[in-house]
Amino acid sequence: MKPVGPIPPGFAVLDGELAIGGRKASELVAEAGTTPLFVYSRAMLDSRVAELRAALPARIGVNYAVKANPHPAVIAYMAGLVDGFDIASAGELALCREAGIDPARISFAGPGKSDAELEAAIAAGVTLNCESEGEGARALAIGARIGRAPRIAVRVNPSFVMTGSGMKMGGGAKQFGVDAERVPALARELIAGGAEWRGLHIFTGSQTLSADAIIEAQANVLKLAAELADAIGAPLPKLNMGGGLGIPYFPGDTPVDLARIGAALTERTRDLPPVLSQTELCMELGRYLVGEAGVYLARVIDRKESHGVTFLVTDGGLHHQLAASGNFGTVVRRNYPSAIATRYGAEPTEEVNIVGCLCTPLDRLADNAFMPRADVGDLVAVFCAGAYGATASPSAFLGHGPAAEMLV
């Protein structure tokens, strides 16, 4: 038997079924008219943002990193909960605009912004998080051509990394940001070139469950930002301090200690150096805001035995849940939190392999999991599906098409 990851708090049992936002899984599937289905819960988005606001000093803004979940209804709902939006493409810009989000609340990072993307962002008044000297020069030229001063922050590649981070995005040679020692010269050139100076973006890592690592990274970020502001010789209107807060996916993972992070940040922001005293501060979070609010529901299509092993074959799979299958940056495959949604809360009685419908042995949702008995027609739930699911999986692979999505 192999354990499954911890099911996030906030889900209930209703008539022997998993309930999301107070509604039974089978009822949600009936409303969507199809499986597989991603369900995202407004109540869980609300509570996550509320917890964050309660823990962080009021001075720290909360930005949503759209790439975690760009479902239009999710973006529109987040517009009422967070302060800013971080995007990484013109496609995400269009989604934010369609949701009616003021471009002044949007910043655009990403190492390969095309001229067309830069122009769309500059014309709209979005802040560019500039990733290189070359990109800065292109932005100034495009701004001059269309008669708009580009709003520009510089993304810094710091010399430190967040320890214990699942995905390192700073430190050493990186395709992201500008090496810290070259930032002051670039910032001065951009300001002299007519850009509207917006400050710095320092992102140090992702999916960290260690409060100590986040506290240390934030201290380093504030220190570096102050040094760079001094060297630039201009105050920072804004500092995007990055995020990095992770969520528990696997057995043994524990939630990040938000209270400690908030307390440390309160302490630290009380005595900021003068050069940062007027700076608007924000954190940018994707997975932490939306990951636990999503559940992926797939239907059992077949139940079969092979050499004494029971397989529950579903109509879902890695084409919607690449990360849960263990093929998105994992070394050892472990089970995501999962359950039989239509037997939720029932006693587990058997060990099963829950697999997807693709013709590849990589398509596994849970290995050797101890579950209540499920038959053809039952629904399987994979939790922590609100981030990097639907759009971070190869939905064109094998032609089954994308899953339905629903905000409840």
Ligand X SMILES: *Cc1c(COP(=O)(O)O)cnc(C)c1O
Residue numbers of the site for ligand X (CB under 6 A)? Answer: 65, 67-68, 86, 109, 203, 206-207, 243, 284-288, 387
Residue 287 C-beta: closest distance to ligand X, Å? 3
Cα angle 114, 138, 104; round to 5: 75
Residue 145 C-beta: closest distance to ligand X, Å? 27
Of 109 and 339, CB closest to ligand X = 109
1, with CB counted inside 10 A (0-12, 13-18, 19+), is exposed
| Residue 192 CB neighbours (<10 A) | 9
Taking only Cα atoms into account, the Rg of the chain, rounded to an integer number of angstroms, comes to 23
3-state SS assignment for residue 319: coil
Residue 167 C-beta: closest distance to ligand X, Å? 7
Residue 375 C-beta: closest distance to ligand X, Å? 36
Of 300 and 323, CB closest to ligand X = 323
Residue 268: its H or E element: helix 258-270
Of 18 and 387, CB closest to ligand X = 387
Residue 89 C-beta: closest distance to ligand X, Å? 11
The answer to whether 365 touches 313, Cβ cutoff 8 Å, is no
3-state SS assignment for residue 141: helix
Q: Which residue is nearest to ligand X (CB)?
A: 286
Q: What share of the chain is helix, strand, coil (3-state, %, to 5)?
A: 35, 25, 40
Of 96 and 379, CB closest to ligand X = 96
Of 205 and 316, CB closest to ligand X = 205
Q: Which of 75, 80, 84, 69 is nearest to 240 (CA)?
A: 84
Residue 88 C-beta: closest distance to ligand X, Å? 6
β-strands 309-314, 350-355: how paired?
parallel
Of 203 and 296, CB closest to ligand X = 203
| Cα distance between residue 214 and residue 218, in whole Å | 6
The answer to whether 374 touches 380, Cβ cutoff 8 Å, is yes
Of 240 and 342, CB closest to ligand X = 240
Indicate the angle between helix axes 258-270 and 211-232, nearest 10 degrees: 30
Of 69 and 279, CB closest to ligand X = 69
Residue 68 C-beta: closest distance to ligand X, Å? 4
| Cα distance between residue 322 and residue 388, in whole Å | 9
- Is the previous residue joined to 36 through a cis bond, with omega within 30 degrees of 0? yes
Residue 333 C-beta: closest distance to ligand X, Å? 20
Residue 396 C-beta: closest distance to ligand X, Å? 22
| Cα distance between residue 241 and residue 149, in whole Å | 24
* CB neighbour list of residue 236: distance below 8 Å, 6 or more residues apart: 199, 200, 225, 229, 275, 276, 279
Of 287 and 319, CB closest to ligand X = 287
| Cα distance between residue 85 and residue 106, in whole Å | 5
**67 CB-side CA count, 13 A:** 13
Residue 156 C-beta: closest distance to ligand X, Å? 11
